[in-house]
Structure 1
Amino acid sequence: MRIAVIGLGLVALGDALALARQHEVVMTGPVPERVDAINAGRYPLEDPALAPYLRRHPLRLSATLDTRAALKGAAMVLISSPLSLDPATGAYQTVELESRIEMACRLCPGVPIVIRSAVPIGFTERMRTLLEAETVIFAPEFTREGQTLHDALHPRFLIVGDRGAMGARVSAILLGAAMRPGVPVKLMGATEAEAVKHFSQAYLAARVTYFNELDSYALAQNLDAKQVIDGVCLDPRIGSYSNNPCFGYGGYRLPRSAQFLTDTLGKVPAHVVPTLARANETRLAMLTQQVLERAARRIGLYHPTRITPEGDPMLSLRDRLVAAGAEVELFTPDRTPRDFVRFKRECDLVVAQRMTPEIADIRSKVFSRDLYPAV
């Protein structure tokens, strides 16, 4: 089967790599360097599962700048377009996504057009009505940052926003790409599937916020936060997953869903979701004070992964420290190894979300709330 993937981002690439074991997959998007890299077998994906997967499995995967060529002969189309937010209203901007859906429906009549982007609740039904196309389907992805391919290959569940034959067809294809046996599948209405996506991300944001507030309390009361968390998580209703404190939830996904739900709850009485952003800000303010109290002459912020300009807590922390008059240097992956050696030597305090092997040698001057370090 030929499958077209519109998009060149992490979600699109994870889907394409998983499906290309069994299908001919063609990706398309307007970024020439990414198209060239994919065609050369250099997949721009940070995931420890990638290298062993490529060694074991031959793939039929290519990319093109020509969307029409990618869609020609496709038996299924996946669309993974990151949506920007209107800076004035905070609403999702969907014009570009709408044009891609319309093009796919026009060039691939009768073919499932599967939206993988996190869209506003009600968007899929609106597009179905507008285009008179029941083939437009929403199937949310639940991959984690840094483990996109792993989660595409080993999903814990699949949700497809169509209860009919088309939804069953899409779920069967996605299941075929999975390497995990017995993946549960839930077929539901398109709007319900959209709500699942946003509310699940808002719940994760709330869970991060909960353990961060527990950690903040422990810091203020001079308690051992790890002992408290270990005890709390013994309750099987809570569990010991996603319980490691951090500087705040960030990235594109969690903040956007939390803000979207806050803006769209309207007259529905709500108290948890609307307070998440404020709780995030409170956490950053407390950590800023903790860092400043260490009276370091030069503060280094260690950010070893790709920076998400929108909602990155490390960038927010930097801005707060600079506003307080601190001398701050941010280390990012584009810097050279020589820069990293100098960075570790010259900074009196290094702030890091997580302890990693690269900074284990300067552990004594690292500030981190990583209570379950891998090193």
Structure 2
Amino acid sequence: MRITIIGLGLVAMSDALSLGRLHDVTVTGPVPDRIEAINRGEFPLQDPALAGYLAEHPVRVRATVNTIAALEQAELVLVASPLRQDPVTGQVDTIELESRIEFAHTMCPGVPIVIRSAVPIGFTARLQQRLDSQWLICAPEFRREGAALQDALNPARLVIGDRGRLGTRVGRVLASAALNPAVTLRQIGPSEAEAVRHAEQAYFAARVAYFNELDSYAMAHGLDARQVIDGVCLDPRIGRSANNPCFGFGGQLMSRSTRQLVDATASVPVHILPGIDEANAVRSSALAASVLQRAPRRVGMYRPGHSAPMTQLADRLRAAGTEILSWDGEPATLDAFKADCDVVIAQRAVPELADLGGKLFCRDHFAA
């Protein structure tokens, strides 16, 4: 099958690589440098599974900045454009996404167009009506940042926002990308599918916030947080997933979905959802206070990849007059970075920080 993917981000790349094992895939977007890299076989995707997957599975993926050429003879179009969000209001801007969908709709009459972006609830139904299109459906993605390819190859489930034959057809194509042939497929309404995606992310945000608050309580009262968490997670209804405290649910996925659900439920008497973001902010304040108790002159932020919770924590420490250094992943500078800092903050207790001893500030209770 000839598949065109509009987008060059995390979702688009993981879709292209997983589908490109069995299909002819063309990706398109307005970033020439990234297009050239893809055509050289250098895929802009941070995932530890990438090198091994490409070594074992040749993929048929090409890239072009020419969207018209990319859509020629396409038998299926996936649209996975990033969505901009106002940092103050939390409102999602869908104008660019809509223009790309409308263009594909005009260029490819009778070809299924699948929305993979995390659109607001009700977006697909409104656009179907406006375009008078029976070929537009949504199929939300469920990818973790840093493990997008792994999740594309081993999905726990596929949710398709169409109950009819078109949804079945699209579901089969997306399922073909999985290495696991027994993928659970659910066909539901478009708005319900959009809601599932956001509700799942918001649930995990609430779970992360809960264990973070439990850890903050243990810090304040001198309790062994791991012992408490281990005891709580013995209950099979709770389980052990996503129970290791961290600095917050950063990135874009959880916070955006939580914001969208809060907006969508504005007229409903809900209490948990609006409190999740507040819990995240309180966690940053508690961690900053704990670091400042050590009276450090210079604090190092160990973050090989960008981490939104660490940015929030760094801002709070900087506001208190603490000098902040960041290490972004350059191996040659790591030793000097560790030596220059009075305290080094890290989300996880990785082996390369083991020599720091008491200089390391990390709330990782389940380090391997």
TM-score > 0.5 by shorter chain: yes
| Contact kept in structure 1, 2:90 and 2:256, CA below 8 Å | no
Q: 2:328 maps to which residue?
A: 332
Q: Deviations over 1:198-256 (max 9, x none)?
A: 11111010000010011011111111100111111111100001100001111011111
Q: 2:314 maps to which residue?
A: 318
Q: 1:195 maps to which residue?
A: 195
- Residue 313 of structure 2 aligns to which amino acid in structure 1? L
Q: Does 1:350 align with 2:344?
A: yes
Q: Does 1:99 align with 2:86?
A: no
TM-score, reference length from structure 2: 0.98
Q: 2:55 maps to which residue?
A: 55
1 CA distance for matches of 2:355 and 2:106? 58
Q: 1:364 maps to which residue?
A: 358
Q: Does 1:262 align with 2:262?
A: yes
Q: Give the alignment of 1:112-131 within 5 angstroms.
A: 112-131=112-131
CA offset at residue 261 of structure 1? 1.5
Please, which moves more after superposition, 362-371 or 229-238? 362-371
Q: Give the alignment of 1:23-102 within 5 angstroms.
A: 23-87=23-87, 89-102=89-102
CA offset at residue 177 of structure 1? 0.9
Q: 1:168 maps to which residue?
A: 168
Q: 1:11 maps to which residue?
A: 11
2 CA distance for matches of 1:104 and 1:92? 21
Q: Give the alignment of 1:130-149 within 5 angstroms.
A: 130-149=130-149
Q: 1:248 maps to which residue?
A: 248
TM-score, reference length from structure 1: 0.96
Alpha-carbon RMSD: 1.1
> Which runs of 5 or more structure 2 residues have no equivalent in the other structure?
none
| Contact kept in structure 1, 2:226 and 2:365, CA below 8 Å | yes
Q: 2:367 maps to which residue?
A: 373
SS in structure 2 of the partner of residue 282 of structure 1? helix
CA offset at residue 327 of structure 1? 1.6
- Residue 69 of structure 1 aligns to which amino acid in structure 2? A
Q: Percent identity?
A: 56
Question: Structure 1 residues 337 and 297 mapped into 2: Cα distance closer, same or farther (>3 Å)?
Answer: same
CA offset at residue 88 of structure 1? 5.7
| Contact kept in structure 1, 2:175 and 2:181, CA below 8 Å | no
Question: Structure 1 residues 117 and 363 mapped into 2: Cα distance closer, same or farther (>3 Å)?
Answer: farther
Q: Deviations over 1:34-71 (max 9, x none)?
A: 11111000111111111111111111101000011111
1 CA distance for matches of 2:40 and 2:208? 39
SS in structure 1 of the partner of residue 312 of structure 2? helix
- Residue 220 of structure 1 aligns to which amino acid in structure 2? A
- Residue 341 of structure 1 aligns to which amino acid in structure 2? D
- Residue 316 of structure 1 aligns to which amino acid in structure 2? Q
SS in structure 2 of the partner of residue 278 of structure 1? helix
2 CA distance for matches of 1:87 and 1:290? 27
